[in-house]
Amino acid sequence: MCEANAYLLKEDGVEELVFENVDRVLPREDGILMEDIFGKKKILRARIKEMALVDHKIFLEAI
C-alpha cells in the first residue's frame, strides 16, 4: 500500500501522529483536508512542512 501517516511537528521537535493511512491531501484556505483509505476525513489548521514518501510520512506544522 502507498498511504502515509501524518505527523504534526511540535516546537520541541517531537512528531505527534495525527492521522494514519492518509490517501489524499487537499489544500484549503483554512488548512488542509486529509482523507484516509477508509474514507474518513480530517481537517487540520496546518501546512505541509515536508513529505518523505519513501518513509510514508507527511510532516505538518500548525498555522
Per-residue DSSP letters for 7-48? EEEPTTS-EEEEEEEEEEEEEETTEEEEEETTS-EEEESEEE
Among the listed residues 11, 3, 2, the one whose alpha carbon sits nearest the alpha carbon of residue 49: 11
pLDDT cut 70: percent of the chain above it? 98
Domain count, the chain: 1
Check residue 18 and give its pLDDT. Answer: 98
> What whole-number distance in Å separates Cα of residue 40 and Cα of residue 20?
10
Q: Model confidence at 63, in pLDDT bands (50, 70, 90)?
A: very high
Give the residue numbers spanning the domain of 46. 4-62
**Which three three-digit cell numbers place residue 22?**
492518509
